[in-house]
């Protein structure tokens, strides 16, 4: 086995200042430590891979690190996976451990991951301990599905809602890691990886490792497109040019090439609606920042948006949205998408007829 360590572990933050995209929560936790105003039960909620467990570990270390900085207090931190330890007996064993005070440090911290997986009886067995824990105990519960947790548990916890990390923040973090690892990475490529991760930094780091394996020390935009099998922006720009030029055959041929490359028809339709949304946002400089793409791609959107008027863009979005709604009910889905492209190519003629 090699000594390779995945980036998600190698660059896991060790302090709150290094946590990406959760500044409101990390500042609150830091202030709570400084002011000695920490609750004994906390609930961290939010999507996967955004730093819930990381923040729990940092908090667990920092509340104990008040005298001996050489000790990492690993023996004071207990992590329990509720997905595989979800019975009443598991919780009873946990309660028995909670009674024993720590040998070193001030707190024993129990991090229970995916807490929503506990059974109803396990939740009920946990209630009394969670409401009145010993002075030396702290519980940090983490979940991706807050709505599955019973209200009596929620009422006993201080709740922190983690948010999805912004694409630009993920891309910037990947750029920092690339620099540390002496990897040349195209900014457009990093934005594409960040978009693919859908707000989860851990997913972005996993994809980043995959791209390093595929491309070596030079990650290009094209290599990311090929390896992740992503439908490139260029296809949407070309098809939009066809609609502007009212060139139905060109639009249909481009769509056929997309299908030949193995891309899903519905995903293409969703991507097309995103493309026209971005073009509409470019119509006003105040809304350009709502487009989560690199600066190079943003410039292309801005340039193409000048070729289409506001009303045409709104009508295009209405047509694409209707096709998206009708897609699952359609028996000939290819024809539905092709008809959508024909309508988009005919919008200028339609507008002219209305004027007449």
Tokens linked to 154 = 């929620």
Domain 167-228 has CATH 3.30.420.40: no
- How many of the other CB atoms lie within 10 Å of CB of 286? 7
Q: What is the pLDDT of residue 296?
A: 83
Q: What is the pLDDT of residue 352?
A: 63
Same fold, 22-161 and 167-228: no
Q: What is the pLDDT of residue 224?
A: 87
Domain 233-355 has CATH 1.20.272.10: yes
Mean pLDDT of successive 10-residue stretches along the chain, which has 356 residues? 74 86 87 84 88 87 65 72 80 82 78 85 83 84 87 86 88 89 87 86 89 85 84 89 90 91 89 91 81 83 87 90 89 91 83 60
Show the DSSP H helices in the chain as ranges: 7-10, 23-34, 52-64, 88-98, 120-131, 151-154, 167-180, 187-197, 201-215, 221-228, 233-244, 248-260, 265-281, 295-305, 310-326, 333-345, 347-355
Q: What is the pLDDT of residue 238?
A: 92
Q: What is the pLDDT of residue 121?
A: 84
Q: What is the pLDDT of residue 73?
A: 62
- In CATH terms, the superfamily for domain 22-161 is P-loop containing nucleotide triphosphate hydrolases (3.40.50.300)
Total residue count of the chain as it appears in this document: 356
- Closest by CA position to 235, among listed 220, 219, 223, 250: 250
Q: What is the pLDDT of residue 1?
A: 44
List phi, psi (to 5°) of 137: -110, 140
First to last CA, the chain: 74
Q: Burial-class residue 89 by CB neighbours within 10 Å (0-12, 13-18, 19+).
A: exposed
Domain ranges, ordered by start, for the chain: 22-161, 167-228, 233-355
């Amino acid at each position: 086995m090699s000594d390779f360590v995945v980036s998600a572990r190698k660059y896991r933050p060790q302090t709150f200042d290094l946590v990406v995209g959760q500044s409101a929560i990390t500042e609150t936790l830091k202030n709570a430590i400084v002011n000695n105003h920490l609750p004994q039960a906390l609930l961290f909620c939010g999507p996967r891979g955004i730093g819930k467990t990381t923040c729990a570990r940092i908090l667990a270390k920092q509340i104990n690190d008040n005298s001996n900085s050489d000790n990492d207090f690993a023996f004071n931190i207990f992590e329990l996976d509720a997905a595989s330890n979800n019975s009443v007996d598991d919780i009873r064993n946990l309660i028995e451990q909670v009674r024993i005070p720590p040998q070193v440090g001030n707190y024993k911290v129990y991090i229970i991951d995916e807490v929503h997986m506990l059974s109803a009886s396990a939740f009920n067995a946990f209630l009394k301990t969670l409401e009145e824990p010993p002075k030396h105990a702290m519980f940090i519960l983490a979940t991706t599905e807050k709505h599955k947790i019973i209200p009596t548990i929620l009422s006993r916890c201080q709740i922190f809602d983690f948010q999805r990390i912004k694409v630009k923040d993920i891309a910037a973090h990947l750029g920092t890691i690339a620099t540390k690892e002496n990897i040349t990475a195209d900014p457009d490529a990093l934005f594409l990886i960040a978009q693919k991760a859908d707000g989860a930094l851990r997913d972005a780091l996993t994809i980043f490792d995959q791209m390093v394996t595929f491309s070596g020390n030079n990650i290009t935009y094209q290599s990311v497109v090929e390896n992740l099998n992503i439908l490139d922006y260029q296809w949407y720009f070309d098809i939009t040019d066809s609609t502007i030029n009212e060139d139905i055959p060109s639009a249909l041929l481009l769509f056929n090439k997309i299908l030949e490359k193995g891309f899903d028809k519905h995903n293409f339709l969703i991507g097309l609606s995103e493309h026209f949304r971005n073009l509409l946002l470019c119509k006003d400089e105040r809304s350009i920042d709502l487009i989560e793409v690199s600066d190079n791609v943003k410039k292309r959107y801005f340039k193409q948006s000048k070729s289409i008027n506001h009303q045409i863009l709104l009508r295009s979005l209405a047509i694409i949205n209707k096709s998206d709604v009708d897609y699952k009910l359609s028996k000939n889905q290819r024809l539905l998408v092709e008809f959508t492209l024909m309508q988009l190519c005919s919008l200028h003629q339609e507008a002219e007829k209305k004027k007449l």
